[in-house]
Amino acid sequence: MKRKIVTGGIAGMAALGITALLAIPSMAATTGPSLEIGWGVYSSYTRNFNPFSTSDMGVTLEMYEPLFYFDDVAPKVEPMLGTSYAWSDHNTVLTVNLRKNVKWSNGSPFTAHDVVFTFNMLKKYPAMDTNGIWTKVSSIKSVGNDTVVFKFKQADVPFEWYVLDKTPIVPASIWSKVKGSPLDFLNPNPVVSGPYVLNTFNSQEVTLTPNKDYWGGRPQVPELTVPLFTSNTAQEPAMASGKIAWGAYFESSIQKLYVAADPKFNHYWLPPASPVALYPNLTNPLLAQLPVRQAISYALDRTKLDNLAESGYEPPANPTLLAPRNANQKSWIDGSLPTSDLKYQYDPKKAIALLTKAGFKRNSSGIFVSPSGKPLSFNLIVISGLTDWDAQAGIIATELKAVGINTTVSLVTGSEAYSDELSGKFQLAIGSPGAGPTPYTMYESVFGPVLTQGNWERWHNPTMYKLLNEFSTTNNRAKEQQLANQMESLAAKNMPVIGLTESVWWYEWSNKNYIGWPTPSSPYAAGSSYDYPVAALILSHLRLR
Amino acid sequence: MRFFLNRIGFLLLSVWAAITVNFLIPRMMPGSPVDAILAHFQSEGAPLGPNALHALEQQFGLSHAPLWTQYFGYVNNLFHGQLGTSITYYPLTVTEVIGRSLPWTLGLAGTATIISVLLGTFLGIYAAWHRGTRIDATLTTVTMFTSAIPYFWIALILVYLFGFELNWFPQLHAFTTLSNGVPWWRFSADVLYHAVLPGATIVISAIGGWLVGMRNNMVQTLGEDYVTFARARGVRDRRLMVFYAARNAILPNLTGFAMAIGFVVGGALLTEVVFSYPGIGMQLLTAVENEDYPLMQGIFLIIALAVLLANFLVELIYGLLDPRVRQGE
């Protein structure tokens, strides 16, 4: 099969006769074309393959693997460098069995020492520990070559996610030689455990070749090419033409601009990830009143938000903030909750009735005013440039106005929004709490006692705190479910944040050359390459059509 | 001598003012670089871990010290030639990032500026010599028109016509990604090929100013008595045009050129953005989007220094060429 020619720009290079020159095979004895993938938006590539860096190359995510993958779209855990794990000692000790016969890409064996080294490096350099592992873990040690034991300061079962899934393991033999802080290490020639290794690098393109010793078997795609894209707009035509076979980007009209270009091969799947929500600042005396928040919720037509702002790709959120269309989150939703707690209603009349009943009266310009004379008039901050959120904010303002709530929209930078949310200098904000393998992750972030983790609305509910605490100490699925049910009910009834739509994992692929992609009928992973560590998993599933 | 000392003093004062403004402006933006990173990951649907705020502040050494302490630290570092570490490209230093981008901007905007000055000046001379003819009217009107169009709009039109519709030139980037081991001349040809559209954008938008400036000066010069006298003495047309009229009329364009070279460093920001050209302008945009204080300061500093130095040189040249400037002190 003819090797595919790669160009960073879109125009043909034939004019300069460079085409022929590009067809230099970089790997012998492989079949099949190079797989081109779109991996994020950069102004130019920096040769930084440090998985602990915030400015590393996106592809680093497929090179370094964690111990396990907690599936974001299905209730299961996929073993990676680990094979099994167990909690003991009242859920304060986590024992992990490691995969045997794994080799790093330089041929040296992977052992428990590498795992212990990686975690101890985070301890030695707290600036690397973005997950705060060492705020929860007190020690880690190896038992033999294939087992590691984590001791926790106190029982915290849900935190296993950060230890097992969110921490990439690096080879001790390389990283122990790094001088100074490993964060300053660019790791230009990464030695990895994942399915692909670095082949060539320049500031506009990266290529990778299979790791022939990969524990999952040698990957079938002979070469990965990651051309630079400086914007989504630049990536769109390359995706539609089938040049880029794997993407994870927002596209306002996938069917028309992507699928229609090659309906046989171009596909997309957008499983829900986490809710997009309206955060009311509960320290505001008006927003602190439940009827006001309920009225806001009844005033919003979420189907309209989806259709007009999200092109119909991001369905209405659920009052529990969990997504029924996500198989994992669905498994946690308590089906016995009353309908009103399982589905947001759109009923502007009810919104007006609720406000009237709570003693609010409409003033001459039609805005409701509290008994003490304060008008329901709020400022809504939203990050400018996130065009779908910006559009949602506009629709929300219109719909709230219709029920007598005045809203002005302020478009701010991401940094300003974050700093306002941290300091509480806002009235309404649009944000998205991250989801995790269990509802605990999201609830702990949005409703938990640590404000900086995402409790922007500043909801302090002792019952919720107690439930969260109980959840963190149990490892019994039935008990977890029972606690989750109570938390769901509490969240739906108190409406501390108001769900809008469900954000999705953006994922587009072409199976023209390669098959084995995750699909709705084979949902073995979310397809978004940025969902660490799915890329390694997906790439080891691909095979020639 | 007094004139030079005076100018140098003024230069130093302006540099100090530029440094101080550079320091203050990024810090007046709401939020901080860490907030920007956290918001970015959150809006991507992959929020960073629960300890990220604390860890990142430590990593980037963000100081909560009083502003004036930070200011003295910053000035002290500058004196030692240190621009700090970029946050966007951590752990690359600002010097490294600028070092990677500056050559692209100098190459693109520098070459394009030289071309538009030469072309504009030459055409200006030509138009002035043939003043009142159809050629003069056409040249002057067309370039007045093109120079009035916002240059990013020209860029978009060029991309659409020659990049997208006709597919003659690349739409983006400074070079094609080529396999390793490409001979340098292929690479150079590729870079030139990619520079055609962005370069044309700059030339089209800048040429009008040079042309009209030169033409008007030249027309004025041609009306001077010494030109009329020379013509009466029978000096040949070509000689009259080049050595008598143009030579004197070109002075303002020369000083304008020195200024323009200073501004080249600032780059044609929007041109670079439209073409995703990896120059200083693109880096500045990235730095502002990420609230990357050190990178922003570094780039602003380079731009300010280039403009101030160009100004300084222009004044020196003026001083040399025109004794009135020196005497007027």
On chain A, the residues whose CB falls within 8 A of the CB of B43 are 383, 386, 389, 414, 432
A142-146, A463-467, B260-264, B301-305: segment of lowest average pLDDT: B260-264
- pLDDT at position A287 over 50: yes
Chain B touched by A450 (CB under 8 Å): yes
Question: Which tokens hold the place of B305?
Answer: 């220094």
What are A164's two structure tokens? 């097992």
pLDDT at A20 over 80: no
Longest CA pairwise span in chain B (Å):
88
The answer, for A129 touching chain B at a CB cutoff of 8 Å, is yes
- For tokens 């995703």, the residue is B276
Amino acid A14: pLDDT: 31
Q: What's the pTM value of the predicted model, to 2 decimals?
A: 0.82
Query: pLDDT-derived band of residue A188, with 50, 70 and 90 as boundaries?
Result: very high
Residues A467-474 have a mean pLDDT of: 96
Residue B181 pLDDT: 57
Give the per-residue pLDDT at A214: 94
pLDDT at B172 over 80: no
Which residue from B minimizes the CA distance to A448?
A: B50
Is a pLDDT exceeding 80 seen at residue B45?
no
What pLDDT, on a 0 to 100 scale, did the predictor assign at position B67?
A: 83
Q: Which residue has the higher pLDDT, B122 or A466?
A: A466
Distances (CA, A) of B164 to A10, A249, A404, B274: 9, 22, 48, 13
Residues of A in contact with B91 (CB under 8 A): 53, 183-186
The confidence band for B218, taking pLDDT boundaries of 50, 70 and 90, is confident
Of the candidates A9, A18, A415, which has its C-beta nearest B291's C-beta? A415
Q: How many CA atoms lie within 13 A of A88 on its CB side?
A: 6
Task: Provide the shortest C-alpha distance from residue B276 to chain A (in Å).
Answer: 6
Flag the least confident range among A396-410, B239-253, B283-297: B239-253
Q: Which of residues 523-542 of A touch B (CB under 8 A)?
A: 528, 530-532
pLDDT given at position A410: 95
- For the ranges A342-356, A414-428, B59-73, B79-93, the lowest mean pLDDT is seen at B59-73
Pairing of strands A93-98, A147-152: antiparallel
- Average pLDDT estimate for B219-242: 86
- Distance (Å, whole) CA A228 – CA A205: 6
For the segment A121-126, the average pLDDT, to the nearest whole number, is 95
The structure tokens 């990439």 sit at A168
CB contact under 8 A, A8 and B175: yes
List the single residue in B48, B58, B276 with the smallest CB-CB distance to A234: B276
**Least confident interval from A67-81, A294-308, B23-37, B121-135:** B23-37
Contacts of A529 in chain B (CB under 8 A): none
Residue A17 confidence (pLDDT) = 32
Residue A13 pLDDT level (bands cut at 50, 70, 90): very low
Average pLDDT of the residues in A526-534: 86
Q: Considering only the beta carbons, identify the residue of A9, A44, A415 that sits closest to B35.
A: A415
**CA–CA distance, A456 with A445 (Å, rounded to integer):** 9
Q: Of A276-280, A383-387, B156-160, where does the model show the most confidence?
A: A276-280
Mean of per-residue pLDDT scores for chain A? 89
Per-residue confidence at A30, pLDDT binned at 50, 70, 90? low
Please tell me which of the candidates B51, B56, B169 has its beta carbon nearest to residue A135: B51
Distance CA A216, CA A69 (A): 14
Q: CA–CA separation, A264 vs A511, rounded Å?
A: 9
Q: How confident is the model at residue A338 (pLDDT cuts 50, 70, 90)?
A: very high
DSSP calls for A446-499: HHSS-GGGT-TT----HHHHHHHHHHHH---HHHHHHHHHHHHHHHHHH-SSEE
Tens digit of pLDDT for each residue in B179-197?
455 677 777 888 888 888 8
Whether residue A26 has pLDDT greater than 70: no
User: Has residue A19 got a pLDDT over 70?
Assistant: no
Give me the percent of chain A exceeding a pLDDT of 70.
94
The fraction of chain B above a pLDDT of 70, given in percent, is 93
Predicted complex ipTM exceeds 0.85: no
Q: What is the mean pLDDT of residues A308-330?
A: 93
Task: Phi first, then psi: give them for residue A162, nearest 5 degrees.
Answer: -70, -35
pLDDT of residue A190: 96
For residue B274, give the 3-state DSSP assignment: helix
CA B268 to centroid of chain Cα atoms: 6
Band the pLDDT of B159: cuts 50, 70, 90. confident
Q: Is the peptide bond before A533 cis (omega within 30 degrees of 0)?
A: yes
Whether residue A167 lies within 8 A of chain B, CB to CB, comes out as: no
Query: Does A445 lie at the interface with B, CB-CB under 8 angstroms?
Result: yes
Q: For residue range A440-466, what is the model confidence (pLDDT) as tens digits?
A: 999 999 999 988 888 999 999 999 999
Least confident of A101-110, B9-18, B43-52: B43-52
Determine the residue of chain B that is closest to A204 in CA distance.
B177
Query: How is domain B102-326 classified at the CATH fold level?
Result: MetI-like fold (1.10.3720)
pLDDT score of B168 more than 60? yes
pLDDT in tens, A364-392: 999 999 999 999 999 999 998 788 899 99
| CA–CA min distance A522, chain B (Å) | 22
The answer to whether A7 contacts chain B (CB < 8 Å) is: yes
Q: Which of A207-221, B191-205, B307-321 has the highest mean pLDDT?
A: A207-221
Distance from A105 to chain B by nearest Cα, in Å? Answer: 22
Tokens of B226: 């010494």
pLDDT of residue A538: 94
Q: To 10 degrees, the CA torsion angle through A476, A440, A87, A51? A: 150
Q: Which helix (H) or strand (E) holds A246?
A: strand A246-247
- Residue A400 to residue A43: CA distance in whole angstroms: 39
Can you spell out the DSSP letters for B56-85? Answer: HHHHTT---S-HHHHHHHHHHHHHTT---B
- The least confident of A176-190, A316-330, A529-543 is A529-543
DSSP symbols for A399-422: HHHHTT-EEEEEEE-HHHHHHHHH
